[in-house]
Structure 1
Amino acid sequence: MKLNIFIASLLMAFLFITGCNRDEISFHAPSKELRFSQDTLVLDTVYNQVRSETYAVKVYNQEDKDIKIPKISLQGGSNSPYRLNVDGKSGTEFTDIPLRKKDSLFIFVEIAPIANSKEAIAEDRINFSSNQHVTLLSVVQDAEFFVKTSANPNIIAQNTTWQSNKAKIIYGDLTLAEGKTLNIEKGTKIYFSKNSGLKISKNATLNVSGDLNEEVIFRGDRNETRYDTIPVNWNSIKMEEGATANINYAKIFGGTSGLEMVKGTANVRNTQIHTFQNYGILAVNSSVTAINTVMYNCGESSFGIFKGGNIDLTHCTLTNYWSLNASMPGLALYATNEFKNASGTVEQAPLTLNIKNSIIHTSRDNAMIFKPTSGQIFTYLIDSSLLKYGNNAGFNFDGNAMIVNSIKNQDPKFLNYNLAKTNLRLANDSPAKGKAKLTYAQSIPLDIVKISRTTAPTIGAYQ
């Protein structure tokens, strides 16, 4: 026993001595240039007085000796909107930073700017004593905040117009009061924090007036590009009974559901709705007219129709290549007379559904499933459209008088349906090219990007 204690004591002493020796390292002045993981660090768009995510630059010691960097500093000093963290310390200037041979050092960067204009570039440099630098760039937007708290219910109580001069940042649900109108002008950006959404109360109206290249944006408040293809960053635009939404040239993406309606009315034109955990549009006993509208990549269905309603789709592209959760159906369109309400009661109502000059396509066997219920009207017309059709679709394709001049099970040949680089324009040899019905096309003479379709019109939202 005593021998074991003696051996353990010797081992501890050896570790202590060698540990001390390792710390006694001589650091030298750099004799070569440092190497960086990047010469320019671009931070994603940030908002007035809101701190960004943390980004990193890696600094490499390429020498065969341990060095001490005399100085690392922000060129803008204490007036810079940027802040650094070097070797666990925060600030704008650091001296005598040790860096062992063939090793690397992380410099962490964040920005919390003050914006004085609609949109500006914040630029600064991380300077090194070796006359080297790393450029820092970020787009800074001025912003208006809507924050729900116990003392503030976050309600728009008067008719209101939002302009594009300030981004709208919403924390918690923002509610448009009953009977009121919210007008949103072109180019306006609306960002939602996690678990936040927009509620359109009974008989209230949402008017979204975007334009090509000046779309109104509804998305989560994480501006990094990777969040463009991630759902559940926010909740939804939820419409109560009697509410109306008139939406033209919007981009709505990245939440739980896009537009949720119960006995509401929506007129949607020239709009992209994508990347939602559940539905792009969830319409319960509602009226929806969609023109030149693109919906894709939603876990349940790009368009979900419950408890009937009146639905009219013309020159729309509804598709789905959902891959985030293989157990979800990933449909393009689902329609039924039924709906189970919050108390668990199944409600039913008649449905009228028209699909004209539209693409309904997915990577699954069925792009579209109908579930009519006994005793309820389920009327539909599929005219001059391209449809992915398989078993258990709930209807017959061949010999069906309600399916006219339509294409079954042909690849529409989208230019790119991969999640991060989606481009649902069609290749020149697409079977949808020139196959749309001219009478429908002439009533909508421009496609979603304002290209004429008055001759040889193409099925879908893109000519």
Structure 2
Amino acid sequence: MKQCLLILSVIGLISLTSCRDDFELEPSFGALEFSKDTVYLDTVFTTTGSSTYKFKVYNRSDQDILIPSIQLNEGEESNFRLNVDGVAGKIIEDINILAKDSIFVFVEVTADIQELTQNQLSFLYTDQINFDTGPDMQQVELVTLVQDAYFLFPERFEDGSSETLSLGVNEEGLEIQIDGFILEDEHLTFTNEKPYVIYGFAGVPSGKTLLIEAGARIHFHDNSGIIVSTGASMHALGELSTDPERMENEIIFEGDRLEPEFAEVPGQWAAIWLTQGSTNHRFDHVTVKNSTVGILMDSNDGGDQPTLTIKNTQIYNSANVGLLARTGFIDAENLVINNSGQVSLNLSLGGRYNFRHCTFTNYWRNGFRQFPAVLIENNLEAGETLFVSDLVEANFSNCIIYGNESIELIFNKVDEAAFNYKFENCLLRFNDTNNRFTDNGLYDFQNTDVFENIILNETPLFLNAEDNHMIISDESPADGLGNPTTASQVPFDILGKNRTQNPDLGAYQSIPFEE
């Protein structure tokens, strides 16, 4: 009897459950709520896909609802793309939202500016997402700026391969190749008319000069860069800008992701590579940011003039090294390098170097680093082979070398080659608390033959070093301590401020900081 009652109870429960209408969906009735009423997709280059953006759609009611359609206003002709609750398309039907629940909508865009407009360098492209139709329709606006650009890339062949550049042969005699292409004569001048976007390595052919004009913007795709071959030159000749924020006359090298979240991300592209035998490079009013290696310079051309003359230049957010010179010959003034995953300035395998009013720092925050801001060497270890070369000279005058580690200057010397250096009127961070270098005569800061008028371990008081704002306060210990003779050779700081009277150390003259 009890068993029969139990069966009857279960049947009754099933009957009651089957009569419930909890799973019947109500129309949306225009009562949806959105986390954004307008989705601003950041600037994209023409024909280049954007990042994915998202917003939420809320059902605040006590009923499960059905949205009959979610579609772009321009339908299949729209350059935007949607993914709604896992369903991709431009017109999506019958989307359910449970009571007191929400769904995600993901949006992307790829637009060709030539199809949207004629003879415009940028174009504001818009569309709308329509939720439902008729009187119950609700909309979310979509807005993006499409930027025109010159695109330079390796040729693609019918067999699916692409153009490559040869870097010689490896130890096994096999050819080393990278994705790249040789710049034709018509592409050897980069203007400021519109940005350049480079895929792979753009090669400057022997005997040619790549000229980059003031105000030019050069963007690199992942693992891309510029490579300057034997006998070739690179002249990046920017000018002083009237607006330090906009930097309208500065030449800027950076990645091709324009979204704000990528603005300071290291390692987005490879390097500017000045190969062995290239010559007569000139950089002025240039910013190099977010690369793996900012500038890689292999060897010098053996002449009496510097292979690289670099002025008023900033190198930031390098995943590995800001400026890496192997047996280089560099003359630099008003050069700033900061935030590098390994070393900001690496003078490797000897060479000749003169730095005046430069700021070399490292406030890297993206992980542990084991190297200092400045590393100077007269040798290079490659596998089991040790290469050596004379450090003919490495002169630093009116410079700042600092960072967030205790020791930001290290020498790596072998006796088989010369090792000549001189620091004059410099602020250095070298706080050897563990006495690792006590018996090393290289760091005798009392030896005026190599260290003259040195300030040790006093905070420079940068405006915001972690965010690459390297100007110093007028209360900085570096204020007013520059050698006037050196300052007369570099009479203006990186922002064009006169420093011939009371010169400060580093690339910037100091300013008063607001409280």
Distance, in Å, in 2 between the alignment partners of 1:428 and 1:350 is: 36
What is residue 304 of structure 1 aligned with on the other side?
Answer: 346
Shift in Å at residue 268 of structure 1? Answer: 1.5
What is residue 353 of structure 1 aligned with on the other side?
Answer: 394
1:203/1:71 CA distance change after superposition, 3 Å: same
Shift in Å at residue 183 of structure 1? Answer: 0.8
Q: Which of 107, 110, 114 is matched with 2:105 structurally?
A: 107
Whether the aligned pair in 2 keeps the contact of 1:236 and 1:255 (CA below 8 Å) is: yes
Distance, in Å, in 2 between the alignment partners of 1:268 and 1:18 is: 83
Shift in Å at residue 79 of structure 1? Answer: 4.2
Find out whether 1:239 has 2:287 as its counterpart: no
Shift in Å at residue 202 of structure 1? Answer: 0.6
1:408/1:71 CA distance change after superposition, 3 Å: same
Q: How many residues align?
A: 446
Find out whether 1:404 has 2:452 as its counterpart: yes
What is residue 285 of structure 2 aligned with on the other side?
Answer: 249
What is residue 6 of structure 1 aligned with on the other side?
Answer: none
> Cα deviation per residue 1:304-356 (whole Å; 9 max; x = unaligned)?
00121111111111100123331x32421111111235883423223311111
**Ranges of 4+ aligned residues in structure 1 off by more than 6 Å:** 16-24
What is residue 217 of structure 1 aligned with on the other side?
Answer: 252
What is residue 403 of structure 2 aligned with on the other side?
Answer: 362
Q: Which of 473, 477, 482 is matched with 1:431 structurally?
A: 477
What is residue 506 of structure 2 aligned with on the other side?
Answer: 460
Q: TM-score, normalised by structure 1?
A: 0.88
Find out whether 1:183 has 2:218 as its counterpart: no
Q: Which of 118, 129, 147 is matched with 2:153 structurally?
A: 147
What is residue 7 of structure 2 aligned with on the other side?
Answer: none
Whether the aligned pair in 2 keeps the contact of 1:272 and 1:294 (CA below 8 Å) is: yes
> Cα deviation per residue 1:169-193 (whole Å; 9 max; x = unaligned)?
2222221111211111223222222
> Cα deviation per residue 1:354-403 (whole Å; 9 max; x = unaligned)?
11111100111211111232143322221222110133564221343322
Distance, in Å, in 1 between the alignment partners of 2:15 and 2:272 is: 66
Whether the aligned pair in 1 keeps the contact of 2:389 and 2:418 (CA below 8 Å) is: no
Distance, in Å, in 2 between the alignment partners of 1:318 and 1:22 is: 73
Q: Which runs of 5+ in 2 are unaligned?
A: 1-13, 115-119, 165-180, 242-246, 301-306, 510-515
RMSD across aligned positions (CA): 2.8
Distance, in Å, in 1 between the alignment partners of 2:322 and 2:103 is: 44
Secondary structure (helix, strand or coil) at the match of 2:123 reads strand
Whether the aligned pair in 1 keeps the contact of 2:350 and 2:388 (CA below 8 Å) is: no
Find out whether 1:292 has 2:292 as its counterpart: no
What is residue 3 of structure 1 aligned with on the other side?
Answer: none
Secondary structure (helix, strand or coil) at the match of 2:263 reads helix
Secondary structure (helix, strand or coil) at the match of 2:347 reads strand
Secondary structure (helix, strand or coil) at the match of 2:443 reads coil
1:434/1:259 CA distance change after superposition, 3 Å: same
% same residue: 34
Distance, in Å, in 2 between the alignment partners of 1:20 and 1:178 is: 82
> Cα deviation per residue 1:228-262 (whole Å; 9 max; x = unaligned)?
33333221111112323211122212222111111
Q: Letter of the aligned partner of 1:138 in structure 2?
A: T
Q: Which of 253, 265, 274 is matched with 1:230 structurally?
A: 265
What is residue 344 of structure 1 aligned with on the other side?
Answer: 385
Find out whether 1:442 has 2:492 as its counterpart: no
What is residue 122 of structure 2 aligned with on the other side?
Answer: 119
Whether the aligned pair in 1 keeps the contact of 2:212 and 2:236 (CA below 8 Å) is: yes
Distance, in Å, in 2 between the alignment partners of 1:278 and 1:229 is: 14
> Cα deviation per residue 1:247-289 (whole Å; 9 max; x = unaligned)?
1122212222111111142112222112222211110111112
Shift in Å at residue 36 of structure 1? Answer: 2.2
